[in-house]
Each structure stands twice: as C-alpha cells, then as structure tokens.
Amino acid sequence: MSGAPPRVYVARMSGLAVFDPLGDQVGRARDVVVVFRAGVLPPLVVGLVVEVPGRRRVFLPMTRVTSIDGGQVITTGVVNLRRFEPRPSETLVLAELLDRPVTMVDGSGDVIVEDVAMTQQRTRDWVISKLFVRRGTPSRGLSSRLRKRGETLLVDVDQVSGLSLVATGQGVSNLLATFASLKAADLADVIRDLSPQRRADVAAGLDDEKLADVLEELPEDDQVEILTQLKNERAADVLEAMQPDDAADLLSELPAETAENLLRLMEPDDAAPLRRLLTYDEDTAGGLMTTEPVILAPDATIAEALAVVRREELSPSLASNVYVCRPPLETPTGRFLGLVHIQRMLREPPNAAIGGIVDKDIEALLPSATLGQVTRFLATYNLVGVPIADDDGHLLGAVTVDDVLDHILPQDWRETPEPLRHPRPESSKASKPPSTKVKTKKAKAARRGA
C-alpha cells in the first residue's frame, strides 16, 4: 500500500538549503513560483526561487527538484544562474499569496491565507492542494461556536474563490514575518521581484528606518517608484532616515517641484545638508560625500571615540575613521585637524585624547574634486574614507569607498548576473560527473534607460 503523496507547507520552505546530489549546497530556497490554470485544475508549481552565492536569486524548475524532505531540497545539480524575473502569468507564493483575503465558496465568509501546502502528484508534478486560513471577526447572526474569532481552517484550494485575482487590501504581515531576518540588501532583492502594487503594500508595512535601508539598496528607478507612491509626509520621514548622500541622490531623480515639496516637509536640520548636497555635480566629491561622518573634538578620549564608532547604524566604512575638528562639530564644522583610524585608537590607552594621535598628513579634498581624483586618493593612501573640506578648511563631509564603488560600477550592477565569487578550483571538482556541475549562463543585462 503506497503512502500519502508528499505535502510541503510553503511558509516553512523559506531558507531551506538546496543541495546537489553529492551534498554540495547550491543555495537557499526563498519562494515558490506557481501558475494558475483555467477550470478546476489546481495551481501548478513550476519552480523555486533560490538564492545562490552573491545574493542573486535564480529560478529552479521543479523538473530539476528530485526531493523536498528532511528540511532540505535536493536537485539534479544543474542550475541556470540567470537572475530570476517573474513572468506575468507567474505568482510568488510567499510574496503574493500570504495574507491574501479569499472567500469561502460555501458562503461562510471571507478568510485570510496564512500558509499554502503543495502536494506532489503521481505524474510527479507539484500542485497547490491546501490552504491554511484564518477567519476574521464573526458576522452577526452566525453561531459563535461555528465562527470563532481567529478560527483557523485547513481547506482544499477549490473551497475558496479569489485566490488568483488581484486582491485589494491584501496584508503583508505574514510576508514581512517570513523575511524578518533578511538584511536590507536581501529584502531589496525580494521587493524587486514583486508586482508594483505588492511593492507598495510592503513599503507601507515597513517602518521608516527599515524602508530607508531597503531603498538605499534598490536601483534608482525602483526607489522613485516606491517613494512617489507614499504620502508626502511619510516620504519626507523616510528621506530623513536615509543616509544624506543616498537621500540627495534620490531627490535628484524626482521632478524639481516634488523634491522641493518633500524638502519643505522635512525637519530643517535634516533638509539643510540635502540642499547643500544637491548643489554639487553627481560625479564630484561634493556629490558623493555624506554629511554625517563621525566627527569629534580633539579633547575627546579614545574611549569616547570607540563608543561612537561602535554604533550599530554606522556602516563599516564610516566607523573606520574619526574626523577631528574644532567646534562646531556639525558640518560645515570648525577647522579640520585630521583623522584617526580605528586601528590606531585600538593601540592607545582609552583615556588618551584623540587630538594627540591625529594623522595630519591626510589632507582634505575640495568638493569639486572629480570621481577619478577621489578614487586615486583612496588607492594611494589605502583609505576607506576621504575628508572633504572647503577652501577655509571647514569639514563638509566624507566620501567612503562604498560611495565610490556605487558610482564606478555599471548602473545595472545590482541586476547583473555576473557571479560575485570565484568557482572552486578544478581540482576539487575533478571527481564529479559533468551533470552535477552548476552551469553558469551569463545574461547580458542592458543598462537602464538604454
């Protein structure tokens, strides 16, 4: 007697390791792709979205999945590394079906989809078979015994209607909970694969700080799309939470009138540095710099400086240097004295003043310095940050190495399928049969706007 067909709940699949037949990890499952079919046929599972090294998400057809069992996915070992781009007919289960309101066909009311089960058929195709749903507040006149608040049900997929329709008012709580552990850059990859309406829903569900972090990791056209769908007051709050240089870059992509309206809604102290940054050309030190590097007075102790650079919200490149200036310490500051690298601070007594260990040999660049001059300066002195000051020696900001990389890489570098790490040496793969190698198929990505 054969056992029941395998059933897998999709919400539990997020993050499952994906292996080839020899036990080498290919990546991690991030979502399930389904296609809705006409008539009474259940939705067909056509593949998985798999995150491979380099944070790139690729499509893995279900025909190349040999098993989903024991908390892992086993494949044939052949993976096309072209970046996943959903087709109009395809739906992402975690991203687009969770939290969707649907209607019970028996007339008992609306329910919310909280999980989706897929089952393998005798033909070895996988289909969506069951939905784990939750009822809302009971309607008047119905028995409370039958319609408890928050009652959960496991129903067949054909017992509901509206699953494949574009839903209005669809929540995002389950989706956000599923991806709560993702870093901003990874969540940005998830958002890029969503429909415009679903992107707007997710943006509305994120807090200002998280949305600001995600926007900083998105291409400019996606940033503009999401920001312009927010109410002006919310958009201004998100801009305040972004790094000044990123916020200024985003504002420069908006119509002048829209940008000015948002600046007026921001707190004056937050808007002022953005207005200064917008006066510089994009490919100059002034256009690249952040106005919020770590700035301390020369009498601050090393212990105080280390406490400041330890702040979680600082990027590694910003936390690497302390810029020592005379008061005032907000940009534009008093006279710039020099910088202190975190490594130097770690070699000195905690109670010593940072003014005594300032590196005065690193001179500040002018905001008019070109991108090429900034890049050569970083390379010449092996720095991760460059101070930018005006003609009178007042510190205006700093350009970090990540700011430079954002500008020297191709515009579509976030979307390129180019692998971000080298493959293993051939010697380590010599004993493997050819069919188990991960095959790379480069997709030639066109620059946006070309």
Q: What is the pLDDT along the chain (450 residues), one digit of tens a residue?
A: 445 667 899 988 888 999 988 888 999 999 999 988 866 788 999 999 999 887 788 999 998 999 898 789 999 877 787 888 887 778 899 888 888 889 999 989 999 999 999 999 888 899 999 999 998 644 443 334 344 457 899 999 999 988 874 444 456 666 676 666 678 888 888 788 777 777 888 888 888 999 999 999 898 889 999 999 999 999 999 999 999 999 999 999 999 999 999 999 999 999 999 999 999 998 899 999 999 999 999 999 999 999 999 998 888 999 999 999 999 999 999 999 999 999 999 999 999 999 999 999 899 999 999 999 999 999 999 999 999 999 999 999 999 998 898 888 876 665 554 544 444 444 333 333 333 333 333 333 333 333
User: Domain 295-407's class?
Assistant: alpha beta
Q: Which residue has the tokens 């005065």?
A: 360
The letter for the amino acid at 110 is D
The neighbouring-strand residues paired with 400 are 385
Q: Which residue has the tokens 């280390």?
A: 306
Q: Which residue has the tokens 């710039």?
A: 336
DSSP for 127-160, written as a single string:
EEEEEEEEE-SPPTTS-TTTS-TT-EEEEEGGGE
Identify the CA nearest to 418 among candidates 81, 60, 193: 81
- ω into residue 332 within 30 of 0, thus cis? yes
Number of other CB atoms surrounding residue 134 within 10 Å: 14
Identify the CA nearest to 57 among candidates 96, 77, 84: 84
Identify the CA nearest to 14 among candidates 55, 73, 58, 63: 73
Cβ pair 235, 209 in contact under 8 A? no
Q: What is the pLDDT of residues 310-337, one digit of tens each?
A: 998 888 999 999 999 999 999 999 999 9
- Report residue 301 as tokens: 């102790």
- Report residue 245 as tokens: 């240089």
Cβ pair 296, 305 in contact under 8 A? yes
Q: Which residue has the tokens 């669809």?
A: 170
Extract the runs of DSSP E, i.e. beta strands, from 257-341: 295-296, 321-325, 336-341
Domain definitions of the chain by residue range? 96-161, 182-218+220-279, 295-407
Q: What is the pLDDT of residues 260-308, one digit of tens each?
A: 999 999 999 999 999 999 999 988 999 999 999 999 999 999 999 999 9
Q: Is 145 exposed, middle or buried (0-12, 13-18, 19+ CB in 10 A)?
A: exposed
Architecture of domain 182-218+220-279: Alpha Horseshoe (1.25)
pTM above 0.85?
Answer: no
Q: At what angle do helices 196-205 and 220-228 cross, to 10 degrees?
A: 70
